[in-house]
Structure 1
């Protein structure tokens, strides 16, 4: 993928960072380039939802809560991400609070607000679960 990163993270000049320099390096090279913190993992997982990359989503989901497979809603368009808080809890646990906006194929818009929990194991961050808000 070329162009702006779907996660919307901005650089020093306030412009959205390119995909290849932002989440793309994690999504496209999971084996050798793990996300450095829970917020970066959450942003890259949002990007993976936008790109319908089930491989990355499943690989970054903690085995204790990982589903066997993922289905994507046909016609769903992700419209934006707002990270409200990144709350590290020591070196191996963190929470990220975010709101993701979407439009369904029917035209109805909705928002997903979640406080997600992450754990770091073997030098990699994994999504565990979250509370909808």
Structure 2
């Protein structure tokens, strides 16, 4: 009986070594938590604006952040690290698009449909978005 438990212990030892968290990965997750806190703070600050207008906070920011987290979980591969950085850059692109709005354009499809312009955030949320953009740029530069 003792031999079986000793053999089982020796077999499971390498598995326990693999389960140890990578300190670099936890540091990345902490930085991503800061990015999420910035986005959540801005959403909270613009809640009154959302209630009094037809504008809604862009939930795509959380989607790109979740994708970046998934790539960060396996950041040992440089491909995954690059994909994480691309998703963080997409967050900045969406914030820019929200601030500046999006111009109308022809779709270029076979039926060539006009896509209406998307207005920027309303004035009641503009200051919060400009502040969020500055904070996000500062935090995302730490990943690059």
- Same fold per superposition (TM over 0.5): no
With normalisation by structure 1, the TM-score equals: 0.24
Higher relative contact order (CA 8 A, sep 6+): 2
